[in-house]
Amino acid sequence: MRDHGGNLDEARAAWGQGDWIDLSTGINRQPYPLPSLPPEAWTNLPAASAQAALLEAAATAFGTAAPGLAVAGAQAAIQMIPLLETPGLARVLAPTYNEHAACLRQAGWRVEEVGRLEALSGADLAIVVNPNNPDGRHHRGEALRRLSVGMLVVDESFADPAPGESLVAEASDRLLVLRSFGKFWGLAGLRLGFVYAGGDVIRRLSALAGPWPVSGPALEVGRIALGDRDWRERTIRRLSGEAARLDRLARGAGWTLAGGTHLFRLYETPDARQAQAALAQHHVWTRRFPYSDAWLRLGLPGNEGEWQRLEAALGA
């Protein structure tokens, strides 16, 4: 099922309009402050020099010299990657972000979802989300390097708060690494992401993406935000403390930590449907999964008022 968080229309249809706190995604709710943009960011077609400046800032922020391509969110890369090779056998380490398998199937690949990293071996194309969404499962680089696959795609969309095991510096024509901008920097509506690979793969992806894959405002905001090292370090420290705060609230509600990252937490609940509905009555929206009756995922509240509302809803 291609269901996703952020589906507030569904929440409003069931529980009414009003002031909702959307914790159904892993998007940072304290976003990077939007800078003032020059008028030409809006009025001119995106320039090649602006794309190059963004990629330079991203390479420094992510710590890579590998060829890269900026795209309209990591989702854009997920949709293009199945078109790079003649469809064959693809294996996806699951459960995970469901668009990987869905886009592969749509492009004609035979898709197998497997539960162990080692079971990916032998695939023409393998997908690992690292750290994983929704359970935060993490695989060390040495284990990923040992995989015997035709092409390995490592989706690092949630890696920014803890980048130590990133493979982005090793990206090649057989190892593709995806990075997100909207999640950690909290600007998902900007639609900006990156794919890193060898030069041949980047050239082919660039042809698929077309001449203006990223808007002028996204190029400018991304360049500025990615270069702000102080904001990034402060945000990592804040998210670490707030993830622990959310765990304490969840324990008080009788939930058990099942996994997560600094941007979202996954809990085992007695009844996920009931838990989601109880919070929704207080206009707090969370993420439930069709394959689990127990799992409920929450992002982190964005300010003290939201924390207090969540605490009150959990205690109601």
Residues 6 or more apart in contact with residue 109 via CB below 8 angstroms: 82, 87, 88, 89, 90, 125
Q: Given a cut of 90, is residue 163 above it in pLDDT?
A: no
Q: Count Cα neighbours of 248 within 13 Å in the Cβ-side half-sphere.
A: 8
Give the start-end residues of each E strand in the chain.
21-22, 68-71, 89-93, 110-114, 125-129, 151-155, 175-180, 193-196, 256-260, 264-268, 284-285, 287-288, 295-299
Token pair of 11, please? Answer: 């929440």
- The 10s digit of each residue's pLDDT in 25-72 is 999 999 999 999 999 999 999 999 999 999 999 999 999 999 999 999
Q: Which domains does the chain have, with CATH numbers?
A: 8-30+230-315 (3.90.1150.10), 39-227 (3.40.640.10)
Report, as an integer, the average pLDDT of 276-290: 97
Q: Give the separation between CA 139 and CA 241, rounded to whole angstroms.
A: 23
Task: Please state the separation of Cα 162 from the chain's center in Å.
Answer: 13
Strand partners, 276: none
Q: Given a cut of 90, is residue 165 above it in pLDDT?
A: no
1 pLDDT tier (thresholds 50, 70, 90): low
- The 10s digit of each residue's pLDDT in 93-105 is 999 999 999 999 9
Report, as an integer, the average pLDDT of 288-312: 97
pLDDT of residue 3: 86
In the chain, the percentage of residues whose pLDDT exceeds 90 is 97
